[in-house]
């Protein structure tokens, strides 16, 4: 399945049905009068967060979604049928924006969430609605209200516990393939990874989700390389793991490049907790590793992990560190939600 994390679609809710002008004329019926029914309500357009989806590919080949129009009213006080609703099934982590791609309409982060995107028009009144002592034979009815229509943007931001960042060929995909059962493409040339990958890692009985995004290079915030649009997939991560290739000459340059790109991207991603690790340590000498560590410490890095996907050295330590930070973040979020719920709960005291 092709990965698609952004789509622009057109939605339109159903218009309401028209009211009916009708009079009861039957033989042997003493009292006649108006009996035109009201029009039915138009269908709504909903967005629903469902399980089992991880891409927006369903909206690549169909961009127009229109709810059903309400039925017209009929004689004998028959109301028109309500138009059928239409529901956009979206994966967890999808954000819905207005046509400007900046105004947020909804952020779907929980399975089962439903958001009304466009409300159907109300049906028009039939002439029965207008009858009265001074107007016993009204000959008018209302047409139904038109539905809402708009263009919207769908943006998917994967929900993961830990995100991998770094320059191309820093070993991110290799790390993901070793700690999980994910099978991203791995090769010895830059930009092997063209779209994000998710993998479920396990350490000491604790499962956590890891997201791998395409590598960043200098100027990514200006569109250089693959740009920084994939950074949105690690916005929701509790912690970021910054991987640096130990076989390169200047590790500090790689560190500062990613740091600057995160700051230029904004959205608070540069303020997230980060762990830093040197990869491919089995391919370099101890002198080079020591030189990289000293240079990074001078650049302000407190702790540096050493990894080797080939030998497996350091993988357990870095996974334990990730689990510790993820657990701490989740506990903090749970406590914050509990405090918010308590503040919104009305007091049981009554005078």
> Between the CA of residue 225 and those of 120, 217, 247, 280, what are the distances in Å?
44, 7, 22, 23
Q: Could you give the CA distance from residue 215 to residue 195 in angstroms, rounded to a whole number?
A: 10
- Predicted TM-score (pTM) of this structure: 0.81
Mean pLDDT by 10 residues, the chain (351 residues): 84 96 84 91 96 89 96 94 96 94 93 95 95 91 95 92 92 92 85 87 90 89 82 89 92 93 89 92 92 92 91 92 87 66 55 51
Q: What pLDDT is stored for residue 126 in this prediction?
A: 96
Q: What does the longest C-alpha to C-alpha distance in the chain come to?
A: 109
Q: What pLDDT is stored for residue 141 in this prediction?
A: 94
Q: What pLDDT is stored for residue 26 in this prediction?
A: 80
Q: Could you give the CA distance from residue 176 to residue 171 in angstroms, rounded to a whole number?
A: 9
Domains, in order of start, for the chain: 6-23+33-129+145-156 (2.70.210.12), 162-338 (3.40.50.300)
CA end-to-end distance (rounded Å), the chain? 62
Tokens standing for residue 179: 């700690």
Name residues whose C-beta falls within 8 Å of residue 257's C-beta, 6 or more positions apart in sequence.
167, 216, 217, 218
Q: What pLDDT is stored for residue 122 in this prediction?
A: 96
Name residues whose C-beta falls within 8 Å of residue 83's C-beta, 6 or more positions apart in sequence.
14, 17, 40, 41, 42, 43, 67, 68, 69, 70, 71, 120
């Amino acid at each position: 399945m092709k990965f698609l994390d952004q789509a622009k679609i057109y939605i339109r809710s159903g218009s309401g049905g028209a009211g009916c002008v009708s009079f009861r004329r039957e033989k042997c019926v003493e009292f006649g009068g108006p009996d035109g029914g009201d029009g039915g309500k138009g269908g709504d357009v909903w967005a629903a967060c469902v399980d089992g989806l991880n891409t927006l590919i369903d909206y690549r080949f169909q961009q127009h979604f229109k709810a059903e129009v309400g039925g017209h009213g009929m004689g004998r006080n028959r109301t028109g049928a309500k138009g059928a609703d239409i529901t956009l099934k979206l994966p967890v982590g999808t954000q819905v924006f207005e046509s400007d791609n900046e105004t947020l309409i909804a952020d779907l982060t929980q399975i089962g969430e439903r958001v009304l995107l466009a409300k159907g028009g109300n049906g028009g009144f039939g002439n029965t609605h207008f009858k009265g002592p001074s107007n016993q034979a009204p000959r008018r009815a209302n047409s139904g209200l038109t539905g809402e229509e708009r263009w919207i943007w769908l943006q998917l931001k994967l929900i993961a516990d830990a995100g991998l960042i770094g320059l191309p060929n820093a070993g991110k995909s290799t790390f993901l393939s070793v700690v999980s059962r994910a099978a991203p493409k791995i090769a010895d040339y830059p930009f092997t990874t063209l779209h994000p990958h998710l993998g479920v890692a396990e350490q000491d009985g604790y499962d956590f989700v890891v997201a791998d995004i395409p590598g960043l290079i200098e100027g990514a915030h200006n569109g250089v390389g693959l740009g920084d649009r994939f950074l949105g997939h690690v916005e929701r991560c509790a912690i970021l793991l910054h991987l640096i290739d130990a076989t390169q000459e200047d590790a500090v340059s790689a560190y500062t490049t990613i740091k600057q790109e995160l700051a230029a991207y904004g959205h608070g991603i540069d303020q997230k907790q980060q762990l830093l690790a040197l990869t491919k340590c089995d391919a370099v000498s101890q002198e080079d590793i020591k030189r990289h560590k000293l240079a990074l410490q001078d650049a302000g890095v407190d702790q540096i992990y050493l990894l080797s996907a080939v030998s497996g050295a350091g993988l357990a330590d870095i996974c334990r560190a990730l689990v510790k930070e993820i657990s701490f973040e989740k506990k903090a979020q749970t406590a914050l939600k509990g405090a918010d719920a308590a503040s919104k709960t009305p007091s049981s005291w009554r005078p």
